[in-house]
Amino acid sequence: MTSRRSHDSGLLSRRRFLQALGLAGIGSGICAPSLFSSEPSLLFATAFEEITANISGINWTHVSGRSPMAHLPETVGAGCAFLDYDNDGWMDIYLVNSGPCDFYEPSAPLRNALYHNNRNGSFTDVTQPAGVPGNAYGMGVAVGDYDGDGFPDLYVTQYPNSILYHNNGDGTFTDVTAKAGIAAPGWATSAVWFDYDNDGRLDLFVCRFVDYSKTKLKFCGDLITGERHYCIPSIYDPMPCWLFHNNGDGTFTDVSTVSGIAQSRAKAWGAVAADLNNDGRMDLYVTNDTLPNFLFANRGKGRFEEIGVLSGVGVSSFGKPRSGMGVDAADYDQDGWIDLFEANVDQEMYSLYHNEKDGGFTDAANPNGIGVATRLMSGWGLKFLDYDNDGDIDLLLCNGHPDDTVEKRIEGVKFREPMLLFRNTGKGFENVSLQSGSIFSKPLAARGLALGDFDNDGAVDLLVSQNNGSPILLRNLAGRENHWLGIRLVGTKANMDAIGAKVTYQAGGLQRHKFKVGGGSYLSSHDPRVVLGLGQRTKIDWLEVEWPQPSGRKERFTDLPIGRYITIVEGQGKWK
Amino acid sequence: MRGWRSMIAGVILRAKTMDSVPELFRKWILISGAALLLCRAGIAQVASQAPASGTSSGAKRGISLASKGRCSQAVPSLKKAVAQITDKKLKYDVLMSIAHCAMGLEQTETAVRTLLELNRSFPQDPEVLYLTTHYYSDLALRASHELAATAPSSPQAQQLEAEAFESQGDWGKAITQYRMILDQNPQRHGIHYRLGRLFLTKTPADLENAKKELGEELKIDPTSAASEFLLGEIARQSGQWDDAIGHFDKAAKLDEGFSEAYLALGMSMNSAGKFTDAVAPLESYVKMQPDDPAGHYQLATAYERTGRKQDAQRQVVLQQESATKAPRTPAQP
């Protein structure tokens, strides 16, 4: 025993201390790319090209209202969305801004922005005629056709009350929050439209962050100079999230308590709705900051059971809560079970939770190189997407530390951080950020991320919102190099937006499937269409849509085109 | 008290802050250099804080002498007085005066004993911890100088030099120095292990060379639990669960008190889906480290996935309790 301990004991205390420090990097230094034997088949010098404001016409800027008081909402917003509000087949853009509230009185009026797609790469600000400016301190946006009239509606989360804008179908919206009963008082963050009770109507889940107001502000900072920095939210009290049941008459019922959702007090930033156990019911994964994340398993009859910790997605592998922020869900390894992704704050690494098909998840971030790449990052908007249309689901992460003074306090951590792109090689993920264009070297205070094909070329583009800065519109050049088919799904018995649908397709030797999840990312909402990547294959043999409950209908289609978008309406047995 | 090996292993398991290491080393060196200055400044500080009233006039006289720099006279009277003092504040001031004076007079034994007494009587006192840090690091510095002066070509001196290079992030010089030790004595225990560790500390980590060195260490010393542990950790972080399990199992068998090896073994078994197998090492771990939420969380997972729902719930409660009690540190992945 003595001899084998000899190299670790018996010398100086200082050395022991130094040894311990010297060992502190083993995990972080391990590089995953060596795990992958295959080289990427296709890499792009510029996978995403930034469309500048003078071309896009998007001159709107987010104003955080950064104050010496360092109110926490100032640093976490805001979100963005792609939506086709006028149903012309082209993705428009919605951007959320700050606004007046008890802790902030803007020196000049602030407003959200709705930009109409001019179909030529430029956009026109139509906020004023559309009537969607927001009216408080804006956070995020969730788009969903809650009344099934064929026009997408907007739910804008805010502090201290949120707004439901009903789409009138004529380019204008009406604030129907009071009638709908979904103001969700408090500090709302991300929101998700999904049909939790399988009645064919979209219900609404709203994340709530801490119990916050001007009078509840706490001091975090330098006690001597009085200089404040943004607090770690552990010092604020958690609050329950909201779940609203859609009554089908333009009103909603608050079912937060009866559903079991409100039993778990949250500090929630992100949420995604997906059927994680393949039981035909949509579950919810909710990321919390300094509390365990929630996995609300939908047990039917309107009840949810919170099983986050025991399913392996609640805390770190060392049993401690992290700062869960951005989130998404997709079956990245095509085993038929939806996996999860969670972004955290610096030093915590992000997690790629592989669904083990038995109610449990295993964190696969380290073997996929995601752990080491995100060690110093803080992640917000993120999304699984097949950016290169090769049929494999890749991963895009937007980053930025929440505290703008962090660089003074923590070495190696930056307030502005670059985005990360992980390509799915079929054997795992590979960090291809540095090979994919200059945008992946650009430091950003990124928050929201929305996916949408704004130029209808089949390559899914990106919209990144920045805290206290201009949004960034990125055109996808990589996806153009492969073939594709885009689908707009319209539910009839199932919910209109077909949230929860599964699309399976075969193209030669390639068989893939995609689940249409609700929400995902952070404070943001996405193009509702599904793009199927074919690689270099020029023909799609068949496509099957499994509609969500209460339909559950399966429809198979053949003789399909490629390189364009089609619409499939549930039950019609044909595409157009 | 947790063993040194467990402390290292804990750091490794939770490792993620490699880039901050060189900076910490630099700060440490600066602290060491400031130690001598501190003892002189400290005496004046204690004197200025001396109480106006007290139970022992001898003690007060001693403090006064110390404050005037008359430490040779002060220390004997203070040492004599301290045993009789019941007033906590006065005792604190007397002990601090003795410590500062002894440090200035280079009365190492007295200084160390007094610091130990201060740490016993006033645990977690920031000033005591501050002074202790400075003095111990100063002692370490002196010992290393002495080693360099008296036995410069000894393996110990070479090893210390290699570690100094390592601490400065000068990997190349550290490797050269370690290699020199092995050239002189290829069978010396621990050097290949340190090289392996060093290759892991580099950015990016040199896994192949690390594995090679750790393998070499095991050839020389098949009982090196630390080498097995590091090999296991390399495998674990790469998702090679079976390989990781093999190494952690060996580490735990080689050193039954090596608690982190049990945790790592259980974690790897859980990750590999071997939940039934994970129960035993994790149960061992939570007995050894009942305050670590990691053990309770992993054990809860193993219980849950083997159908022991109530046991799992109990562990979740313990995990939450221990996570709440644990000091806030950067969370682990």
Candidate from A159-173, B33-47, B73-87 with smallest mean pLDDT: B33-47
Token couple for A356 = 């083990």
pLDDT reading at A253 higher than 50: yes
Across the interface, of A14, A312, A411, the residue whose CB is closest to B136 is: A14
Average pLDDT over residues B145-162: 87
Give the minimum alpha-carbon distance from B79 to chain A in angstroms, rounded to a whole number.
Answer: 27
Q: Which residue of A has its CA nearest to B331?
A: A348
Residue B329, pLDDT score: 52
Chain A residues near residue B237 by CB distance under 8 angstroms? 26-27, 30, 366-367, 371
Token couple for B164 = 């100094």
| Interchain CB distance below 8 Å, A309 and B23 | no
- pLDDT tens-digit series, residues A90-117: 999 999 999 999 999 999 999 999 999 9
Question: In chain B, what is the straight-line distance between the N-terminal and C-terminal CA atoms, in Å?
Answer: 26
Average pLDDT over residues A223-244: 93
Q: How confident is the model at residue B12 (pLDDT cuts 50, 70, 90)?
A: low
SS3 breakdown of chain B: % helix, strand, coil, rounded to 5?
Answer: 75, 0, 25
Q: Is B6:B258 a contact under the CB 8 Å cutoff?
A: yes
- pLDDT tens-digit series, residues A325-362: 999 999 999 999 999 999 999 999 999 999 999 999 99
Residue B14, pLDDT score: 54
Could you tell me if B201 lies within 8 Å of chain A, comparing CB atoms?
yes
Give the minimum alpha-carbon distance from A187 to chain B in angstroms, rounded to a whole number.
Answer: 25
Candidate from A35-44, A56-65, A243-252, B149-158 with smallest mean pLDDT: A35-44
Chain B residues near residue A21 by CB distance under 8 angstroms? 11, 21, 24-25, 167
**Beta-carbon count within 10 A of A406 CB:** 17
Across the interface, of B23, B238, B254, the residue whose CB is closest to A35 is: B238
pLDDT reading at A220 higher than 60: yes
Chain A residues near residue B194 by CB distance under 8 angstroms? 7
Residue A35, pLDDT score: 28
Determine the Cα–Cα distance for residues A399 and A417; give it in Å rounded to an integer. Answer: 6
Determine the Cα–Cα distance for residues B263 and B277; give it in Å rounded to an integer. Answer: 12
The residue written with tokens 């039981």 in the block is: A279
| Interchain CB distance below 8 Å, A27 and B137 | no
Give the minimum alpha-carbon distance from B132 to chain A in angstroms, rounded to a whole number.
Answer: 12
**Beta-carbon count within 10 A of A178 CB:** 10
The residue written with tokens 């950016």 in the block is: A387
Across the interface, of A4, A321, A365, the residue whose CB is closest to B333 is: A365
Instruction: Measure CA B10 to chain center.
Output: 10
The more confident residue out of B229 and B169 is B229
| Interchain CB distance below 8 Å, B202 and A29 | yes
Find residue A533's DSSP bridge partners. Answer: A484
Residues belonging to chain B: 333
CB neighbour list of residue B1: distance below 8 Å, 6 or more residues apart: none
Q: Is B293:A331 a contact under the CB 8 Å cutoff?
A: no
Average pLDDT over residues B28-32: 38
Give the minimum alpha-carbon distance from A9 to chain B in angstroms, rounded to a whole number.
Answer: 7
- pLDDT tens-digit series, residues A315-328: 999 999 999 999 99
Q: How confident is the model at residue B30 (pLDDT cuts 50, 70, 90)?
A: very low
Q: Is A314:A324 a contact under the CB 8 Å cutoff?
A: no
| Interchain CB distance below 8 Å, A321 and B207 | no
Residue A9, pLDDT score: 30
Find residue A164's DSSP bridge partners. Answer: A155
Q: Is B91:B117 a contact under the CB 8 Å cutoff?
A: no
The residue written with tokens 């365990």 in the block is: A292
Average pLDDT over residues A434-439: 93
A·B CB contacts under 8 A:
232
Angle at A537 (CA atoms; ends A536, A538), nearest 5 degrees: 115
Q: What is the DSSP string of A486-500?
A: EEEEE-SSS-TT-TT
Across the interface, of A5, A317, A356, the residue whose CB is closest to B332 is: A317
pLDDT reading at A275 higher than 60: yes
Across the interface, of A4, A16, A24, the residue whose CB is closest to B225 is: A4
pLDDT reading at A77 higher than 50: yes
- pLDDT tens-digit series, residues B249-270: 999 999 999 999 999 999 999 9
Give the minimum alpha-carbon distance from B67 to chain A in angstroms, rounded to a whole number.
Answer: 29
Among B residues 219-248, those touching chain A with beta carbons less than 8 Å apart: 221, 223-226, 230, 233-234, 237-239
Q: Which residue of B has its CA nearest to A353?
A: B271
Token couple for B289 = 């480290």
Q: Is B62:B92 a contact under the CB 8 Å cutoff?
A: no
Single out the residue of A478, A487, A425, A455 nearest to residue A120, CA to CA. A455
Across the interface, of A6, A318, A321, the residue whose CB is closest to B14 is: A318
Chain A residues near residue B18 by CB distance under 8 angstroms? 24-26, 28-29
Q: Is A317:A363 a contact under the CB 8 Å cutoff?
A: yes
Q: Which of A320, A377, A403 to probe by mutation at the B interface, max B CB count within 10 Å?
A: A320
Chain B residues near residue A12 by CB distance under 8 angstroms? 140, 143-144
| Interchain CB distance below 8 Å, B4 and A16 | yes
The residue written with tokens 């199932």 in the block is: A494
Residue A337, pLDDT score: 98
Single out the residue of A278, A419, A423, A402 nearest to residue A337, CA to CA. A278
Q: Which residue of A has its CA nearest to B31?
A: A14
Determine the Cα–Cα distance for residues B319 and A255; give it in Å rounded to an integer. Answer: 30
Give the minimum alpha-carbon distance from A361 to chain B in angstroms, rounded to a whole number.
Answer: 9
Q: Is A248:A201 a contact under the CB 8 Å cutoff?
A: yes
Amino acid letter, A342? E
Determine the Cα–Cα distance for residues A418 and A444; give it in Å rounded to an integer. Answer: 6
| Interchain CB distance below 8 Å, B297 and A317 | yes
Single out the residue of B130, B126, B118, B64 nearest to residue B91, CA to CA. B118
How much of chain B exceeds pLDDT 90, in percent?
A: 58
Residue A137, pLDDT score: 98
The average confidence (pLDDT) of chain B is: 83
Candidate from A371-375, B151-155, B187-191 with smallest mean pLDDT: B151-155
Find residue A525's DSSP bridge partners. Answer: A81
| Interchain CB distance below 8 Å, B323 and A28 | no
Average pLDDT over residues A4-14: 30
Average pLDDT over residues B162-191: 91
| Interchain CB distance below 8 Å, A26 and B12 | yes
Q: How confident is the model at residue B50 (pLDDT cuts 50, 70, 90)?
A: very low
Chain A residues near residue B191 by CB distance under 8 angstroms? 7
Residue A31, pLDDT score: 33
Could you tell me if B175 lies within 8 Å of chain A, comparing CB atoms?
no
Q: Which of B271, B314, B318, B328 to probe by mutation at the A interface, max A CB count within 10 Å?
A: B271
Angle at A312 (CA atoms; ends A446, A79), nearest 5 degrees: 20
Residue A44, pLDDT score: 63
| Interchain CB distance below 8 Å, A29 and B205 | yes
Q: Is B100:B111 a contact under the CB 8 Å cutoff?
A: no
Q: Is A495:A574 a contact under the CB 8 Å cutoff?
A: no
Q: Which residue of A has its CA nearest to B323?
A: A320
User: What is the phi/psi pair of residue A59, to 5°?
Assistant: -100, -5
Q: How confident is the model at residue B327 (pLDDT cuts 50, 70, 90)?
A: low
pLDDT reading at B8 higher than 50: no
| Interchain CB distance below 8 Å, B301 and A312 | yes
Residue B56, pLDDT score: 62
**Burial per residue of A422-447, b for 16 or more beta-carbon CB atoms within 10 angstroms, e otherwise:** bbbbeebbbbbbebbbebbeeebbbb
Residue B17, pLDDT score: 30
The more confident residue out of B53 and A451 is A451
CB neighbour list of residue B123: distance below 8 Å, 6 or more residues apart: none
Across the interface, of A26, A28, A310, the residue whose CB is closest to B300 is: A310
Say what the alpha-carbon torsion angle B1, B6, B7, B10 is, to the nearest 10 degrees: -130
Residue B204, pLDDT score: 78
Q: Is B247:B232 a contact under the CB 8 Å cutoff?
A: yes
| Interchain CB distance below 8 Å, B255 and A4 | yes
Backbone torsion region of residue A250, taken as left when φ is above 0, otherwise alpha when ψ lies between -120 and 50, otherwise beta: left
pLDDT reading at B142 higher than 50: yes
| Interchain CB distance below 8 Å, B333 and A31 | no
- DSSP classification of residue A547: P
| Interchain CB distance below 8 Å, B17 and A4 | no
| Interchain CB distance below 8 Å, B273 and A356 | yes
| Interchain CB distance below 8 Å, B319 and A317 | no
Residue B169, pLDDT score: 83
Chain B residues near residue A358 by CB distance under 8 angstroms? 305
HEC letters along A335-378: CCCCEEEECCCCCCCCEEEEECCCCCEEECCCCCCHHHHCCCCC
Q: Which of B13, B14, B17 to probe by mutation at the A interface, max A CB count within 10 Å?
A: B17
Determine the Cα–Cα distance for residues B115 and B111; give it in Å rounded to an integer. Answer: 6
| Interchain CB distance below 8 Å, A26 and B312 | no
**Burial per residue of A135-170, b for 16 or more beta-carbon CB atoms within 10 angstroms, e otherwise:** bbbbbbbbbbbbbbeebbbbbbbbbbbbbbbbbeee
- pLDDT tens-digit series, residues A529-557: 999 999 999 999 999 999 999 999 999 99
